[in-house]
Structure 1
Amino acid sequence: MTGHRIETRGLIDRSRPLSFRFDGKTYHGVQGDTVASALLASGVRIFGRSFKYHRPRGVWGAWFDDPNAVVDIEFGGIAYPNCQATTTQLIEGMVVRSVNAWPTAQRDLKGVLDFAHRFLPAGFYYKTFMWPNWHLFEPIIRRMAGIGTLSADVQDNFEATILHDHCETLVIGGGPAGLMAARTAAKAGKSVLMIDDHPEFGGSSYRYPNDTADAPSYWVDEQLYAIEDAGGRVLSNTSAIGVYDHQAISILTDRGVGVAPVVRKLRPENVIVATGAVDRPITFSNNDRPGVMSLDAGAEFLARYGILVGRRIAILTNRPDAANVAAQLENAGANVDLLDPKSGAAKTIGAQAIKGLQLSGQTHACDTILASAGLTPLVHLWRHAGGKLDWDDGRQTFVPSTGPDWMRVIGAANGTFERDALEEEARSAALNAPSPKRRIYSIPPLLPDTSNTEGRQWIDFQHDVTLKDVALAHRENMVSVEHLKRYTTLGMAGDQGKTSNIAGLAAMAELKGQKIPEVGTTTFRPPFVPVPLEAYRGAHRDTQVAPLKRLTLEPEHRALGAALGEYGGWLRPAWYGEDDEKSAVTRECLMARSAAAIMDGSALGAIEVIGPDARAFVNFIYYNTMSNLKPGRIRYGFVLTEGGLVFDDGVMACVDDTRFIISCSSSHADAVMAHLEHWRQDSFDPYRVHIHDASQNWSTVTIAGPKARAIVEELAVLDTLEEFAHMSLRLGAFEGAPARVARVSFTGDTSFEISVPNNAVSGLWQRAIAVGKPHGAGPVGAEALIALRAEKGYILVGKDTEGETMPHDLGFGAPRLRKSAAFVGDRSLHTDNANREDRKQLVGLSVDNGEPLLPVGAHIVTGQGSDRRSLGYVTSSHDSVALERPIALALVTGGLAAMGEKVEISHMGSSRHATITSSCAFDIEGVRIDA
């Protein structure tokens, strides 16, 4: 047995034994263990298999720096995939399974892949599977990809608690440096919050105790008492996962498997980063074998969990404090060889277990190798905040340089590895005093030797990236570190390069004949550590992040048997009655075309623009000319982005020379409001233009169809409907409440939109239903409305447009040629891109009688074989009740000039044909709209 528990060591509670299962066998641990420490104490060395070659993997590090020990866990009937065994606290009864291995990590049948490693170098899939067709191999490769298993059962009972917190000083890291800084800041009267990701504070105090202090636990308790006595707060099991704009920091309290996490968001005035440093591996032949661990891991497992990781231990490192670790291990009962890694090439002996280390031709018998090529400061949060890095030759690593004045990095995270230098650094950070000069620290370089080609030397353990893979990437001209990362997947493992990046950069630098800082680093992005998905599934989800807007008439719709659905953020009737959707929509479309549709149009935005400069403002906002719109008239128009793209469409009514009402798409109302406010503040006198969103104050009942005029006359909202032309606005009243009546149509039939204050709309709706019934009219939902508008070729922005659509692509080209006044997006409409002949344009598609509906998303294609390409795609498709045939709208390259042409439609491997037609398929002459 290689690993065993030392009775007098550790922070664990031996009086509380725990049992669990791993790969089908029962094991035992104690309270305070992690999954990794309990397995190590039981003599388990192989925790899983590597991603590509399925090589056996054991633990490398003792905490989040470990890239190897990833496991799936089942507890309480819930599956938790891809948990780090080194950070997951052991719980009674949990079932643990190794990932990327079958049937077990010890005996993985896919391990035969390692014998084919010569044929599976970095990037092999990019080249090998291109012939004859990538899609032949893609399903197999995708099935083999990935680590861990997602449960088929979706758990809906875990939700993170989201809190907003505040403190003057946030100290990240509860090791010696963090404790000293938090104590000093709290004693100085500052509001302090100190966090640490371990269950116990103290950090490296346990594995590297200060000889002049009491037992580490007593010293740590003394610091914690002083901090809390001065009013400071401390949170254990808590990680800072990212630094964002405006000094925003998210911290996560992970309370273990089976308990929902807590996410705190705060913007502290000052942040002290004391996150420490991690060992980086030494690259030598077969340095990935189970039993090769970091120097700190050997010390940490002994100090924190009372585990001696081996009986015969070889220490291979350039660190000056290695003798300290060796002494601790020897004191615990191990035989230790302290070896110089610079003395020659090294190679492990043994396949699935370490039996020895060969160094300079000499064999050193051992069952465990503790290796370290130096310490890498954890500067991720510093980089999130925009801090810079410098390469320090003495420390052989990157250390913090210039950066934000509200953040200070101290301790090992700052490259300060000497305990006696921490206090001065911590005090200056806590009191915002000038930083002390960094002390001289020097270790001999111990970087990958690209000239040494003996065996496979591993850089990224989990993703199976070797020194030869880096050399191959260089030969393939992947000269950028970002290219290297993506070509080899180096640094993409669970530890996100914490252990592998320096070695990879050093190897690339040597191959390029450059220094490491000249090669640079990859981008540091949140999260700093893996975050359980339930942490993102907090209060800011579903209706809590996008509150569902409710119609005032919702009770009336429910009483009529409406099937309610979400449309553009509103809960709206999709159709009415007990029929299935298709039957209900067909019935409602027939009713709308033969009699009248009574619809709830309240979801449409109603934004009022008021003031002396209102007319000039709306003319600037709209693509169409609005400066000559007379009071009482309505005009359809587009709102564009600065890039000339269609942002929204809708109608605008002129009430008088200083008041306009913009009706925008229901799904875009909030965005249009923000757009208007942006330009009001940017280009106009805000005292002469005011914008008011009245969408929630008014409700609208729309009556559209051949019988609409007769129904509205009976409602008596207006004194008369004589000479009430299409695209006009009149003011009236309903039962004493003010009413606005707009003659606009989204169905292509005669239509009236009657808007009243919310408290009057229930009476208006009920009256309209009662009056309409004898005429054959009734309620119509959104699904029928969408089909009716498609018959007329009326667009839905975002559905019938895409991220490159401009107005002239939709057939509205006149304003860009004729409008002389400036408007948002005007210059962009005259660029080379805007005038391309191959722009996608809105057209209609028709199919032969008897053919089925064209699927939405189907592509219009041309060419054969390798010349086959897409010309566009179907955006809307419906069975037209009025025309008794399918209709469709599509965006097609050069479509407006291709009327009458037959095109090929391809979808999901099948092919058929359609004819390009006008986007308007129903009542092309527009007779019905003004009937």
Structure 2
Amino acid sequence: MSTDTSSTGHAPFRTAEGGRIDRSRVLEFRVGGQTLPAHPGDTVASALLANGRHQVGTSIKLGRPRGIGAAWAEDPGGLLQVEEPFPEPMLLATTVEVFDGLAVEGIPGQGRLAEVADTARYDTRHLHVDVLVIGAGPAGLQAALTAARSGARVALVDEQSEAGGSLLGTTDRLDGAPATEWVARATAELAGYADVTHLQRTTAFGVYDDGFVLAVERRTDHLGAQAPQHLSRQRVHRIRAEHVVVATGSHERPVVFTDNDRPGTMLAGAARTFLHRYGVLPGTRAVVFTTNDSAYAAAVDLADAGVEVAAVVDVRQEAPAQWAAELSARSIPLRTGQVVTGTRGTDRVSAAVVARRDGSQAAEVDCDLLLVSGGWNPAVHLFSQARGRLRFDAGLGAFLPAEDLSGLTVVGAAAGEFTLAGALEQGRRETRAVLGELNLEVAAEDDLPVAAEAFAVQPPALLWFVPDPDGDSSRQFVDVQRDATVADIERAVGAGLRSPEHVKRYTTIGTAHDQGKTSGIVATGILGQLLGRGPEAVGTTTFRPPYTPVSFATLAGRDRGQLFDPVRTTVLHDWHVLHGAVFEDVGQWKRPRYYPLAGEDMETAVLRECAAARTGVGILDGSTLGKIDVQGPDAGEFLDRLYTNLMSSLKVGKVRYGVMCSADGMVLDDGTVLRVADDRFLVMTTTGGAAKVLDWMEEWLQTEWPELRVHLASVTEQWAAFPVVGPRSRDVVAEVFGIDTSAEVFEFMTWRDVELDGVPVRLARISFSGELAWEVHVSGWYAPAVWERLVAAGERFAITPYGTETMHVLRAEKGYPIIGQDTDGTVTPQDLGMSWVVSKKKPDFVGKRSFARPENQRADRKQLVGLLPVDRETVLPEGSQIIDFREDGELPPPPVAMLGHVTSSYRSSFLERPFALALLKGGASRHGETVHVPVGDDLVAVEITGPVLVDPEGARRDG
């Protein structure tokens, strides 16, 4: 529930005023079963801190308490499992916005998915712009304003719930007023431009080639205006931009010391954000440990808000004078040339151990909040994803972009510009240059907001970790979420690892949900220190997408189930269902596998269907075969270059079987080719190979042979195809179409166009069964009617519909291979016994050169053979290995040599026994020999034969 009074559910660590939360309403949410108050605008982290709770969960390996260490996605510790309104794992307390009814609990790095996916929560949008600005901080807002004022199409995306970036957590002033007032004016101006798309709660997580950026937006839904955006509807934006401006800011980095993982240890800038943005005091008594000037502002602001600052500990020997004066005015002790070496406490920090850098004069300073600042890392992740090189700037103690990239510019803190005035000026200057490059009119010079004068900045100290006084580095945590320590890096170095990429994988540092935002550069610094090298010599790990975790559900969106992998059915699907077909998946297609009669199992049904095709007539729905229309004056030449045999010599009205090889000479696909006209062919492919073959053709046509005048089009779904098979197929086809089907008139491997009651039909004498057969091709609109006519005409011959299992048996009996089943990417046409399909007349074709390789000439290459189990009973499992063994019946000593494997195996009604096809080393020369196949605990003896086991002369095929 929510109420309209701020007095309800008072949080003890909430400031009396200030912050950007809506204090007029109180929300209630649950954490681990306890109900806590919050306000609209709170995150779970800020609400927890407001209620005095620092610990969120425990660590994944050691079970140590883990708390909130940062204010946004760089937080390494505060992982949540959302329980209500629906389960969502592995979310950060710092990024989950509070709403009524939210229920969460802390987790140690692994969570629970919803049992039922909510597909309506996700969608996708495509966006095309001139300029994409990533980040709505001061530099990004100024860049977007500059581009918008010039009339450019602009997109501004930012991961926070509102624009402003770092300005939301500071007291910076612009034009003499709080900087947030300028932010409000800037966003209002942007909203007035029709060509500006402004997306908050939108994280750009991947930058790719040609200005392509992926971003995920967390959107509201039925939960209302205050709904938790990343727990409601999510939208993936696929953005194509002429130019990308990266204004992603920077991440404050920690310093590693002993027991630095205790809750209550927090980045200094985060504490300042919690104060100014959320109106939260993250503690009552603080110690601030810093290597640079930025933490002083946090100490001063917290002190002014009522937090007792027990000490500011600066590793530098000399503090910045102006900040020292600010501390003195507030009676805040300043300790220079000192470090924090460790902490005390159980579930939360109770004291910080402060000492000289050499470890001497150690003393405990009581505190419940320890703020740390080891410097700032520019958020160069997206720049690096775009293959930008980095350089280490010793003056800033940070890695910066080292080069200019075409189509991408980095501005603001991400480019190392940490002053407010400098970031604003750079955002405008660089964007104006971009507009000029895009030939867009640059607006007249517009005034920049005037930033308040800042203190002079003293150079930072470079400190990665503070050695433990007792030499124990096992509690010095580099990656808080992974429980990875300085000791782990030391072990990696001891194992000989020198690259940060190798150390990352050895230690798992940087592989958790934060992807090393706080630990990655620190690990580089520690590695360099252990190796005696500077950070510039060590380098960084590779920054890869996604910048922040994106759920698989979001990426999938609504493309799941049938939308992810569409179920394709032929136009006869309803007929098959009505007649009891059992289906199997062939690629994306649902194809009838067999048609069982009452009481039949698959084996019985298939034996019956095979017998019908061999002795009477059968009919198959072969509509899923790939069909590609190849047209153009150079169509014959094009096919000659792709197929192993000649296609340009094929006459109109004729059909030719062809094999296509990849560049290494291995069989890619096979099928029949019909010449439809002088400049037109219909190429038939395997069902599973249809898309692959079309892609293969387009690749060669577009990238290698663009001079050929050829056009390709898939017509797979335009033409239905029905093989009518068996000794009585001639009678059925003759009766339905009223033509002379005699062998003398309608020859094998020819086709002709006919009409059936005005409907165009193409008949082709093609056989994949080894029997007399016709393929009936007809437009899908008329296919059911033509099929019904064929079935009706065949009733007096007991026509039998058969499925893919019977098709496989029939073709295997004839030794016809299935590409992808009887081949495995290492098989040439010669290995299949198809030297006849390799033209000796053509000067070249794809794969021809590879046939001459010594590897392809070896006598012991695996070749296609038939196998007949000697016991005449065993159906060999497909995939079974083939072995030899000694004459005494014993296996040879291991390792037992594998000679090949079974590729297809069936029981044959025609042969009245089981048989198989196999790829066997030197198989063509071993016909008549006996080898063995392990089946369970038995060794089954099999006779090697040629692959053609039925009608090798082809008499049945010719009728």
Partner of residue 823, structure 2 = 801
Matched, 1:825 2:834: no
Matched, 1:338 2:360: no
Partner of residue 673, structure 1 = 694
Partner of residue 320, structure 1 = 293
- Summarize the Cα distance change of 1:614–1:217 in structure 2 as closer, same or farther, 3 Å threshold: closer
Number of residue-to-residue matches in the alignment: 880
Give distance in 1, aligned partners of 2:59 and 2:923.
52
Give TM-score scaled by structure 1 length: 0.87
Of 771, 774, 790, the residue aligned with 1:768 is: 790
Give distance in 2, aligned partners of 1:274 and 1:309.
28
- Summarize the Cα distance change of 1:23–1:408 in structure 2 as closer, same or farther, 3 Å threshold: same
Shift of 1:329: 0.8
**Contact 1:2-1:311 at 8 Å conserved across structures:** no
Shift of 1:655: 4.7
Matched, 1:49 2:44: no
Give distance in 2, aligned partners of 1:2 and 1:286.
29
Matched, 1:245 2:209: yes
**Contact 2:606-2:806 at 8 Å conserved across structures:** yes
- Summarize the Cα distance change of 1:222–1:608 in structure 2 as closer, same or farther, 3 Å threshold: closer
Provide the secondary structure at the position in 1 that maps to 2:215: strand
Matched, 1:902 2:937: no
Give distance in 2, aligned partners of 1:859 and 1:417.
66
Give distance in 2, aligned partners of 1:916 and 1:370.
79
Matched, 1:752 2:774: yes
> Could you list the runs of 5+ residues in structure 2 that have no partner in the other structure?
1-9, 220-228, 316-336, 356-361, 438-447, 449-455, 885-890
Matched, 1:69 2:78: yes
Of 181, 184, 187, the residue aligned with 2:149 is: 187
Amino acid at match of 1:333: G
Partner of residue 86, structure 1 = 94
- Summarize the Cα distance change of 1:261–1:363 in structure 2 as closer, same or farther, 3 Å threshold: same
Amino acid at match of 1:160: Y
- Summarize the Cα distance change of 1:780–1:511 in structure 2 as closer, same or farther, 3 Å threshold: same
Shift of 1:691: 3.8
Partner of residue 111, structure 1 = none
Report the more deviating stretch, 800-809 or 248-257.
800-809
Shift of 1:338: 0.8
Partner of residue 453, structure 2 = none
Provide the secondary structure at the position in 1 that maps to 2:762: strand
**Contact 1:2-1:310 at 8 Å conserved across structures:** no
Post-superposition Cα deviations, 1:144-202, rounded to whole Å, max 9, x if no partner, equal xx722334x23244441111123322221112222222222222222222222111221
Post-superposition Cα deviations, 1:40-71, rounded to whole Å, max 9, x if no partner, equal 22222322222222222112211110122112
Give distance in 2, aligned partners of 1:400 and 1:204.
20
Give distance in 1, aligned partners of 2:606 and 2:539.
61
Report the more deviating stretch, 539-548 or 734-743.
539-548
- Summarize the Cα distance change of 1:787–1:377 in structure 2 as closer, same or farther, 3 Å threshold: farther
**Contact 1:394-1:440 at 8 Å conserved across structures:** no
Report the more deviating stretch, 540-549 or 31-40.
540-549
Report the more deviating stretch, 546-555 or 776-785.
546-555
**Contact 1:75-1:258 at 8 Å conserved across structures:** no
Matched, 1:18 2:27: yes
Shift of 1:282: 0.8
Give distance in 1, aligned partners of 2:892 and 2:254.
53
**Contact 2:467-2:473 at 8 Å conserved across structures:** no
Matched, 1:291 2:308: no
Shift of 1:346: 0.9
Partner of residue 455, structure 1 = 473
Give distance in 2, aligned partners of 1:906 and 1:302.
72
Q: How does 1:675-824 map to 2 (within 5 A)?
A: 675-682=696-703, 684=705, 686=707, 688-716=709-737, 718-723=739-744, 724-813=746-835, 818=840, 821-824=843-846
Report the more deviating stretch, 689-698 or 834-843.
834-843
Of 586, 593, 599, the residue aligned with 2:614 is: 593
Give distance in 1, aligned partners of 2:831 and 2:849.
16
Matched, 1:616 2:578: no
Give distance in 2, aligned partners of 1:752 and 1:914.
38
Post-superposition Cα deviations, 1:123-148, rounded to whole Å, max 9, x if no partner, equal xxxxxxxxxxxxxxxxxxxxxxx722
Give distance in 1, aligned partners of 2:520 and 2:904.
49
Shift of 1:865: 9.6
Report the more deviating stretch, 276-285 or 641-650.
641-650
Q: How does 1:423-502 map to 2 (within 5 A)?
A: 423-432=424-433, 442-448=459-465, 453-456=471-474, 457-502=476-521
- Summarize the Cα distance change of 1:92–1:866 in structure 2 as closer, same or farther, 3 Å threshold: farther
Provide the secondary structure at the position in 2 that maps to 1:391: strand
**Contact 2:340-2:352 at 8 Å conserved across structures:** no
Amino acid at match of 2:556: R
Shift of 1:445: 1.0
Q: How does 1:234-273 map to 2 (within 5 A)?
A: 234-255=198-219, 256=229, 258-273=231-246
Post-superposition Cα deviations, 1:268-289, rounded to whole Å, max 9, x if no partner, equal 2222211111111211112122
Provide the secondary structure at the position in 2 that maps to 1:225: helix
Partner of residue 226, structure 1 = 189
Report the more deviating stretch, 482-491 or 752-761.
752-761
Provide the secondary structure at the position in 2 that maps to 1:28: strand
**Contact 1:614-1:689 at 8 Å conserved across structures:** yes
Post-superposition Cα deviations, 1:684-710, rounded to whole Å, max 9, x if no partner, equal 575644445443433222101232222
Provide the secondary structure at the position in 2 that maps to 1:4: coil
Partner of residue 413, structure 2 = 412
Shift of 1:398: 0.9
Partner of residue 347, structure 2 = 352
Give distance in 2, aligned partners of 1:295 and 1:865.
68
- Summarize the Cα distance change of 1:797–1:326 in structure 2 as closer, same or farther, 3 Å threshold: same
Partner of residue 118, structure 1 = none
Give distance in 2, aligned partners of 1:756 and 1:806.
34
Post-superposition Cα deviations, 1:441-465, rounded to whole Å, max 9, x if no partner, equal 8321112467983333211111122
Provide the secondary structure at the position in 2 that maps to 1:773: helix
Shift of 1:261: 0.6
Shift of 1:650: 0.8
Amino acid at match of 2:104: V
Partner of residue 45, structure 2 = 36
- Summarize the Cα distance change of 1:311–1:407 in structure 2 as closer, same or farther, 3 Å threshold: same
Post-superposition Cα deviations, 1:74-133, rounded to whole Å, max 9, x if no partner, equal 123x32121122111123223322223xxxxxxxxxxxxxxxxxxxxxxxxxxxxxxxxx
**Contact 1:861-1:906 at 8 Å conserved across structures:** no
Give distance in 2, aligned partners of 1:700 and 1:196.
54
Shift of 1:326: 0.4
Shift of 1:470: 1.4
Shift of 1:226: 2.0
Give distance in 2, aligned partners of 1:928 and 1:679.
39
Matched, 1:210 2:180: no
**Contact 1:2-1:367 at 8 Å conserved across structures:** no
Cα RMSD (Å)? 3.3
Provide the secondary structure at the position in 2 that maps to 1:167: strand
Partner of residue 528, structure 2 = 509
Shift of 1:568: 3.0
Matched, 1:930 2:958: yes
Provide the secondary structure at the position in 2 that maps to 1:788: helix
Post-superposition Cα deviations, 1:875-907, rounded to whole Å, max 9, x if no partner, equal 444444444554444555655566644345478
